[in-house]
Structure 1
């Protein structure tokens, strides 16, 4: 399977059509496949956005043909926004803007100016179509091509089509079509192919994700776990995570496993998870805290210090946290106690997500889940069982959800 180049353009512009035809011919002659709107063929009942998502997720390069019509086209803006999410996580993805008309600098939206690291004048200089085509091919050839026969790429493309304007029936069908068994793959191996899926999904609203999760609960368990594992192991850079509320769904989300919180000014995550032989806080503590949530007096939370310290005692009797640490963590976790109170009713995802959104305005927050007996370090990208690595790797695996569609 040859690498694909995605071409974004406005169908209303004649100059764009002429450049597109010559560019397609040159790309195909060089051995590249091309994806552009005229090739989008859908089965009855399928939404055209599903096809576009698959193309954006699977392309190895993109060319944006800029015209006056393209600058105001909502479709071009959406396509470029999706591509920018991918580029934020994959610096090797070339996104090449080409002006097919005379365009003033002040007319170019900021989101298009961020598509490359080239100087502004270099973006738009197009002395001839032949010279431009040569430059495009040279830029694309710089990319280290992936193994396009890797079945994980197919699975990633399928995962992208699970959401974004899909009907309930389409979600069910997409979940059932996941063919690749991901259970035997370690997260490090999955991450190379799935981090762009994470970026694409980050533009979907919380209500839409809640609906998707509810639909997936009705999918055959084997297929549902594959989809969830695909999403959960997507690696996200710290600068993408920063200040964005979100959730992380674990590889086999049969029960909620823990809570992660980060204050805006603090780089380190506070990880809260059931006590299982390593540092953590049990569901008994969550329940106790939830029972106190109607009393916002911090002294009430401080009185729970002994309960927390009891949960954080190691096998040799040593304490993993100081009393000051306990007080600080109690203050932090107390601010999200309404959400914690709902941890045991994970089937009610819409309400849980709404509670998190309402109570965590100034925090970055994540939830991760796991089935019985599944070791927590596997969620954290296979890192060793120590707190520093868990903090760092959890950031990489966090499932980011913006409050609304981007672009």
Structure 2
């Protein structure tokens, strides 16, 4: 394998911003053909229900099922998957599940209220969603960690029912995924995938219940379907390719940094891995480590393509400038591979997850650190947050005026309503004003 050429940028270059923008550019909008296919699938599942779902599953997953009963996994089957796991896998899955649950329990929002001097009560009622749908990629691209990260916060939030959909192309079932569903407390599992599974969750069929929100990753057809059904149901996000940005002061082992960059590049050819450092010699050392280690990787072709197309090694003047570049990129995963990450933390404003210190590999966050690995991509960390318990809870405002409070605030509302020429609003409030 010949050496992979990785884009080099320097913050001091006059055209740095232009080059960085070009590197970061990612078009997540589906093309017309994908939209047309997805819209047809959504309409057919919405109008024909189970029949369309079975037809599409047989067509796309190369199965030969005749009824929805054949596509639903029983709770006993999930338990069997968990019980039959090799002990090392079961132990690892249980540790990860416990840590994810423990972290998310600290996010749980509680209802609150307060009473004003005149007896008026104001507050907020926090209520979990009734039912959510969890999309899990299937076949060879199976991610039990995704099951835990999506189902656990929903469970902690108190969601009444979790419905999981997972394609099983050619009847291929991933036992780890089923075991994770068992551990996470998933209520029902259907072996369907693609846009047809999203449609079933969004609109409901004779067998698949309609949900309030759909979460979980998928391919371009799944992402397009989620975008299309948003409004009928809630969705978590439209995720772009995975990203990692490593900010390093030059004192971390370059092999470690190279492998951290690989950890995202191996996801797919569109993943993005970036190193930012003020140390030019260290950047050269990491580049050398990349060339040395790449031939040893099982997914070296995918990594090589990702690095060549979308990776960058960025030279900055100092660590303040490194923080500036990090905020400009607003990465999904940010590693602060520096001597004193806590001192640098106040300078970081935009990142999905921040991995602090030389020992904190991003990979730990993917599986067992505890915080959620469903994170904003493509710069959306500027305004978005990791998936959490709060995504599965709704907040209702509580308002109860006393007679005295209604009289006083009625005068305020009356003036404002008449200022907007909304007379019924004004008179409704004025009825409660005491003489």
TM-score, normalising length: structure 1: 0.26
Higher RCO structure, 1 or 2 (CA under 8 Å, sep 6+): 2
Higher normalized strand content (fraction of residues) = 2
Bigger-Rg structure (1/2):
2
TM-score, normalising length: structure 2: 0.25
